[in-house]
Amino acid sequence: MTLEIKHLTHWYTDRDHKLYEDVNLTFESGRFYAIVGESGSGKTTLLSFLAGLDEPREGDILVDGVSIKEIGLTKFRQKYVSTIFQAYNLLNTMTAFQNVQTALAITGSIHAKDKAYILDQLARVGIDEEKAHKNVQRLSGGEQQRVAIVRALLVDAPIVAADEATGNLDHENSQKIVDLFAELAHEFGKTVILITHDRDVASRADEQLLLQNHVFEPI
């Protein structure tokens, strides 16, 4: 599966202050990409387009040549991409377990009713059963982020997009997460796009892109 960005041009309020101009990028499945760039350069904005949460002013995003608008943004979000944000990823009224389960139910995953499987996967990132049944607001920021990552990894989406997913984690935990991302790309054949400011994390990717001066340059 190929994910393409075609002629992407975007600005928020001022047409003369464009975030990007005529950007063309291709992401292949089975590969792990890292996007780096200065704060405010437009990394999160790009992710919002890739996650089908927003639409660019100009240009299009295509999956195997089909525009995601044609697929339908809701369906695209549900079936094609799973996203991890910088903050506020979880449903505050629920436990870690319920958060994962809810996501699986929405996306129609076969694992939605597999309690043991969900707990297993949470345990892999250090969320034991006791923590899994706590309301997520009682977990630390890092733990919350790990729950969000597990959730994104478990839904069967071919694209995984993460925004500063390791930002709140210590070195050891962030290494574990990066291992997971790499595994998803290399063993499960997913397209993994990771936004980070951490050069160490970025260096683990198959390809690194630097967003600078309104364009993406390979490093």
Partner 1 sequence: MNFVKRAGITLWARKGRSLLLVLTSTVILVFVMAGLIIQNAALTAANNAANAVGSTVSLSANREKMFEQMKASQSSASSTSNSETKPTAITMPTATVKQVKKIAALANVSSYNITNNASVNANSFKAVTTTTTSNAMGGGPMGGENNSGDIQVNGVSLTAATSSFTDGSAKITSGRGIKASDQGTNNVVIESELASANKVKVGQTITVKTTADDAKTVKLTVVGIYKVKTATDGFQRNDPSNTIYGSYTLANTINGTENVASNVTFTMAEPAKTTAFVKAAKKYIDTDKLTLTSDASQYKTAAANMKNVAAFASKIVWLVSIAGILILGLIIILITRERRREIGVLVALGESKPKVVAQLFTELLAILIVALGIATAAGNGVSGVIGKQLVQQQTTQQMQSANGGLPGGGAGQNGGPGGGQKPSGNMGGGPMGTRGGMTKTAELQTAMTPVAVAELGGVAFLIAVLSVSGAAFSILRMRPKQILQAD
Ligand X SMILES: Nc1ncnc2c1ncn2[C@@H]1O[C@H](COP(=O)(O)OP(=O)(O)O)[C@@H](O)[C@H]1O
Binding-site ranges for ligand X (CB under 6 A): 12-13, 19, 37, 39-45
The contacts of residue 52 (CB under 8 Å, 6+ apart) are: 61, 68, 73, 74, 76, 77, 80, 81
Give me the amino acid identity at 135. Answer: N
Interaction between residue 140 and partner 1 (CB under 8 A):
no
Q: Which residues from 81-120 bind Mg ion, rule CB under 5 A? A: none
Q: Which is nearer to ligand X, 36 or 150 (CB)?
A: 36
In the complex, the smallest distance separating the C-beta of residue 211 from ligand X, rounded to whole angstroms, is 7
In the complex, the smallest distance separating the C-beta of residue 44 from Mg ion, rounded to whole angstroms, is 3
CB 70 within 8 A of CB 17: no
Interaction between residue 89 and partner 1 (CB under 8 A):
yes
| Out of 9, 29, 44, 175, the residue judged to bind partner 1 by CB under 8 A | 44
**x/- track of binding to partner 1 for residues 150-169 (CB under 8 A):** -----x--------------
CA distance 85 to 195: 10
Residue (of 68, 38, 58) closest to 213 by Cα position:
38
Interaction between residue 71 and partner 1 (CB under 8 A):
no
Interaction between residue 168 and Mg ion (CB under 5 A):
no
CA distance 63 to 61: 7
CB 174 within 8 A of CB 34: no
Residue (of 148, 210, 138, 150) closest to 183 by Cα position:
150
Q: Which residues bind partner 1 (CB under 8 A)?
A: 44, 48, 51, 53-54, 74-79, 82-83, 85-94, 98, 102-103, 105-107, 135, 155
